[in-house]
Chain A
């Protein structure tokens, strides 16, 4: 590890809360984390250290933040109130901002139809269950347009607008 290359203040860019600095590497977050069973394991404690040390390259290359199940158990158990789940999301945000290949394709789906999958198209099934047709935003072009206009003002959409262009 080479500190001459690392940015001491990287944490301010990624997760600008002092909560992170209070981490005392106790490993509580690791011990009960579902995704720590993965291969490679999600090691929340190590990610916190990498952010504090400012290991930019290592962090950009790290896929494990995306394995998080969002159960927030670490958040509940962390004795230092580091809010590790918030940190995971913050790392993902920073990765997305610095590497467009990290931008999850699901946001394109949401942009296009409001949801990550096609909701409200299973009319027949719904009918058989006694359910009415669902009025989704997909079926309300005016409203969807407004939502898209709003998203266009957000960094991830505006900076990666090519992803959102209608073919």
Chain B
């Protein structure tokens, strides 16, 4: 199958190793990737979706129309981009007035939107389209003996009728099953479904409280599990959980927050034998302990 890869901004700009991992792994699993030439900001919830409907939905429509013109569905890794595009699409697909207005705006640019393109999350593609069996068959190395925990991207869970794909959004399992397919032991912990705390204005408007909030999550992981790594499938979760551990160590003068964080496609790429320097090189908390065990 072929899908348009919607990169967003953080991944290509700050964590291009994740982009590399996605571009490396997906075609080998039978998912060919096309570009979304001229895409713009998804738009991030703090931008146009916080100013007015027109600018918000016109930007969504802009992005969607590029893929639609190619006749392809969109695949996203970033949780915010995924959710913003899905919600934008949902508004446009269910409200003829809004769609008409957006098409009025798009017309100026020579574009058109019929809401034919679907927006899908990379973890959903891996889970539903590729399947764990194919993944198990394809990998060359295994995470056997390593313990992982999952950070589910909220944006792929809620609200379930718009963004959800799990059979049971209150008990998601896609990332767990996918990680288990790589040979790792996945442990549950009490705050598994708690938000990473990194998105939106919370961490900038209340930095101390936001740090304390995420600390409860990390403490739960440390106390309740033998986690060697955290698996995410959202660029915000990845960056935030990685960076905050260093902050916590500095603030508390400790080194206990040292769990490496991986995007799922990074682990997948490592297991498929790609060069760690290319697919998993950018991080704050060192990943050697996991990478060396492979």
Contacts and interface: CB of A to CB of B under 8 A. Distances in A.
Physical contact A–B (CB less than 8 Å): yes
B183 interface: no
B197 A68 contact: no
A17 to B, nearest CB: 12
A10 interface: no
Q: Which among B12, B154, B197 has the highest number of chain A CB atoms within 10 Å?
A: B12
A21 interface: no
Nearest to B102: A150
Interface in A56-102: 63, 66-73, 75-76, 83, 85, 89, 92-93, 96-97
Interface stretch (B118-126, B206-214, B286-294): B206-214
Given A115-B40, A116-B44, A66 B205 contact: yes
A102 B19 CA distance: 34
Interface string B275-293: 1011101000000000000
Interface residues of B, number: 68
Given A38-B206, A118-B13, A150-B109, A67 B201 contact: yes
Interface stretch (A1-9, A45-53, A103-111): A103-111
B160 A76 contact: yes
B62 interface: yes
Nearest to B23: A131
Nearest to B17: A129
B199 A70 contact: yes
Contact of B109 (A116, A122, A146): A146
Given A71-B199, A72-B158, A114-B40, A125 B51 contact: no
Given A37-B209, A92-B50, A135 B35 contact: yes
Given A35-B202, A110-B43, A147 B37 contact: no
Contacts of B202: 34-35, 37-38, 42, 67-69
A153 interface: yes
Given A89-B45, A110-B48, 15 more contacts: A37-B202, A67-B200, A69-B154, A70-B199, A70-B200, A96-B51, A110-B40, A115-B40, A117-B13, A119-B13, A122-B13, A146-B109, A151-B59, A153-B108, A156-B54
26 contacts: A34-B194, A38-B205, A66-B46, A71-B154, A71-B195, A89-B45, A89-B49, A89-B50, A104-B47, A106-B44, A107-B48, A107-B51, A110-B43, A115-B13, A116-B44, A119-B13, A126-B12, A129-B277, A149-B109, A150-B58, A151-B58, A154-B48, A154-B55, A154-B58, A155-B54, A155-B55
